[in-house]
Amino acid sequence: MNRLFLILTLLTLTACSIPVDAPPPPTALPADTPLPTFSPAPAFTPLPALTETPASTSAPAFCNDPRGSELIASLRAAIQTRDGALLASLVSPALGMDVRIFRDGNVINYDVEHAKFIFETTFQADWGLHFASGEATKGSFQEIVLPSLQQIFSANTETACNELKTGGVTYIPAWQYPGMDFYSIHFPGTDQYSGLDWQTWAVGMAPVDGKLYITALSHFVWEP
């Protein structure tokens, strides 16, 4: 009897130790593409806010640097043509590219390798709670984010350097990465909706080995 009890106990412990498959990464590659091995990129650490000087001491030099506007032009081309390889070449190899569709929603980080397949993967990422419905928003980049980027990069927009341009708001708009230089691309909206259909994409940038890369994409819209 004791021997039978011992055998059953060992079988139970063995069953409990069987590993469970881990969930796929938040930016899973297409099923037929082998997942490469990466060293996790360090999260961007916001610099302390300055009190007596502008938010970014590099602002004048950065805004006069043609690499910033060139990076925006390349991002526009990648979005309009759905060119994953081009987009991946713009993504920071050190920090990856943070993407958020809601200003206070979840952040999805795409490293260089995953950015190559950003227009193909159908992985259902969790983008956070919708500001209007309060419901969880899940879907792929091409379902949730791409339509907005395509619209803003095909419309008449205003571009500003280290300035977050928005339309009318019910909140205090703020760039989420103090100390990180950025451009904002602002669509002022239409007369049909009294400008309430405005939207802005802020594009964060940082240098790596002397080359400027995209580090963040953050979306702002009118919220009720």
Gap between the Cα atoms of 159 and 166, Å rounded: 11
Of 33, 44, 221, 180, nearest to 118 by C-alpha is 33
Domains detected in the chain: 55-221 (3.10.450)
pLDDT single digits (tens) 64-116: 999 999 999 999 999 999 999 999 999 999 999 999 999 999 999 999 999 99
CA angle 46, 52, 53 (to 5 degrees): 65
Q: What are phi and psi of 129, to 5 degrees?
A: -85, 135
Gap between the Cα atoms of 25 and 35, Å rounded: 10
Can you give the pTM of this predicted structure?
0.75
pLDDT single digits (tens) 129-164: 998 888 899 999 999 999 999 999 987 899 999 999
